[in-house]
Amino acid sequence: MSEGYLRHLLSEEIADLEKNGCTADNWENIKVASPFHAEHVCNVHFSGNVALGLFEKEFTLPGGVKKHSGIRNVTLHNCEIGDNTLIENVHNLSLIHISEPTRHSLI
């Protein structure tokens, strides 16, 4: 994900994120890839400079559980989240760069 690839959020996207339970210290510090799909970002608090990639893929986890890429129930501070990643139920991520997954693995 390169800097030229990212843009600021549109006012409609901010409204959608707020409807999804998201908050930010400053929405101007959040950059996203296009097309941005707010439905894949829920209950996230943003602080510092945050960059979000695309959320277009669905994963099948061991046991057949299907999950769509996105971010849910997380606090992000000064992070860059690459394309098609899935982050769920993490209290705080700070100063992290996560790139697109290249293989399935459990953490």
| 4 vs 41: CA distance, rounded Å | 22
Residues above pLDDT 70, as percent of the chain: 89
Residue 69, pLDDT > 60, answer: yes
Mean pLDDT value across residues 56-75 = 93
Mean pLDDT value across residues 1-16 = 85
Q: What DSSP string describes 15-45? A: HHHHHTT-EES-GGGEEEESS--GGGEEEEE
Query: What's the CA dihedral at 100, 85, 55, 70 to 10 degrees?
Result: -170
Reported confidence tier of residue 61, pLDDT bands at 50, 70, 90 = confident
CB 33 within 8 A of CB 9: no
Mean pLDDT value across residues 39-47 = 98
Residue 53, pLDDT > 60, answer: yes
Nearby residues of 42 by Cβ (< 8 Å), 6 or more positions away: 20, 21, 22, 70, 71, 72, 73
Provide the pLDDT for residue 2: 46
Provide the pLDDT for residue 100: 62
pTM: 0.86
